[in-house]
Amino acid sequence: MKADQRVLISGGGPVGLFCALLLGRQGIPVRLFDVNDELQADPRAATTHPATLEVLGKAGLVEDMARVGLTAPLFQFWDRPSRELVAQFDLALLAKDTAYPYVIQCEQFKTSKILMSRLIDMPNVEILFGHELTGIEQKSDRVTASVRTKTGEEKHDGSYLIGADGGRSTVRKQAEIAFEGFTWAERFLVLTTTFDFNARLGYSYRNYFADPDEWCNCFKVAADGPPGLWRTVFPADANASEADLMSDEAVHARLQKFFPGETYDIVHRNLYTIHQRVASTFRKGRVLLAGDSAHLNNSIGGMGLNGGLQDAENLAEKLTQVLNGGPDNLLDLYSLQRRTVSIEFVQAQSIANKKQLETREPVARKQTLDDLARTAADPVKAREYLLRSSMLSMQTRAAAITLNEAA
Ligand SMILES: Cc1cc2nc3c(=O)[nH]c(=O)nc-3n(C[C@H](O)[C@H](O)[C@H](O)COP(=O)(O)OP(=O)(O)OC[C@H]3O[C@@H](n4cnc5c(N)ncnc54)[C@H](O)[C@@H]3O)c2cc1C
């Protein structure tokens, strides 16, 4: 592979790093830029679904993730006002469908560290921190990235540029690719506590609470090792100020109101603006988008990073073929496959997940919870539900999409 076939990547989050690893292992020269001086200590994603574990398993990463994360086959839905368990799903039902009938709760900074540990010794992969991509220029045979460093401006040529630079992607904006969709009025407040919801209240490692007044998600993560930490996610009033929402008084009152009568040690508090958006294309000439730069969704169901890692595998495989003389329209196929499933599955499912928890109207609410209970109680229906929530059916659908669908 010649140096002029070098692939540039903007963004050293988990998606950019995974692209770099997969391309680097094919002997392709890769140069990755990240604006930060080191890997982000990012607490956002944790849940890694079976479909993504299959992708990461092929790359030899799952054992390390399991070692530093938590393996969780079960998840539960609760009716918060009555405090009743509505439904429990066991991913073991997928034992014949996947080698990974569970999720691994692995915080995304740990996934990034694992990826970095593999990249560090690869002579054909350069990881350049403190490099901010500021502009792009496309020619028929190359793409040029303008990059700002502490010592000045630089230009870097590549055969292709992957924008894995997150939701505010400079690459996407520079390529003038629309980011279609909407932003939710409410934000999501994440409070992380040492309180052990499993030991005290019997919750599984992944819990969804339906509540017409204030839904909640509650998850366990391994953190620095036993006993681990629990993350709670709540909707935050669109009109309240960040200072009010994040004050000691407010965050303690929030946990007390939801899970009364306990004492909570809150170790992190984060507030996120939440979007449902998909780029109008994941490919424009020599520019390709993957991960959050291509799609954003609310975090209920934990699908954002999963989708991004799946993009990375799909893209790396096709880009390798193109660089080895394969047809250029494989990159159009990448865009079509990943954009279609992003809309049909991740957008649709994450919006439905949110609605399931927040529905207020009593008849519709009862219907939703009854449906969930019936689905969980019926092994055939539960398997279908799990194939979707674990993103396995999404991957099957993506693989079946051909360019004829675009016609
Ligand atoms: C509360 C919350 C919980 C979540 N939970 C889950 C979950 O359980 N499961 C799941 O799948 N997803 C989850 N997500 C979504 C997940 O966090 C994102 O999908 C994921 O971070 C996307 O990874 P990425 O590599 O595409 O982008 P990012 O992680 O945003 O990385 C982008 C990188 O690009 C760099 N960058 C940006 N601009 C430039 C530039 N101009 N030049 C150079 N570098 C640049 C940044 O420094 C950063 O390192 C959650 C999100 C939130 C908010």
Residue partners of 321: CB distance under 8 A and separation at least 6:
330
Give 13 Cα–ligand 1 centroid separation in angstroms.
6
Say yes or no: CB of residue 46 within 6 Å of ligand 1. yes
Report the percentage of the chain scoring pLDDT > 70: 99
Closest CA to 175 of 20, 285, 302: 285
pLDDT cut 90: percent of the chain above it:
95
- Average pLDDT for residues 1-6, to the nearest whole number? 72
Containing 59, the helix (H) or strand (E) segment is none
Is 90 exceeded by the pLDDT of residue 184? yes
> DSSP strand E in 35-115: where?
47-48, 70-72, 74-79, 84-90, 103-105
Q: Kindly tell me if the per-residue pLDDT of 189 is higher than 80.
A: yes
Interval 192-229: pLDDT, tens? 999 999 999 999 999 999 999 999 999 999 999 899 99
Least Cα distance to 93 among 352, 300, 376, 346 occurs for 376
Out of 33, 35, 189, give the residue to mutate to test ligand 1, the one with the largest number of ligand atoms within 8 Å of its CB.
35
C-alpha to C-alpha distances, 299 to 80, 216, 333, 339, 397, nearest whole angstrom: 19, 12, 27, 18, 22
74 and 47 Cβ atoms separated by less than 8 Å: no
Can you tell me the mean pLDDT for 167-183? 98
Q: Is 69 in the pocket of ligand 1 (CB under 6 A)?
A: no
Cα-to-centroid distance, 222 and ligand 1 (Å):
20
**Cα-to-centroid distance, 170 and ligand 1 (Å):** 14
Q: Ligand 1: which of 42, 111, 113, 165 to mutate, most ligand atoms within 8 Å of CB?
A: 165
Distance between CA atoms of residues 77 and 373, nearest Å: 9
Pocket test for ligand 1, best of 22, 65, 108, 168 (most atoms within 8 A of CB): 108
Q: Between the CA atoms of 334, 306, 48 and 108, what dihedral angle is there, to the nearest 10 degrees?
A: 120
More confident residue, 238 or 95: 95
Determine the atom of ligand 1 nearest the C-alpha atom of 147: 42
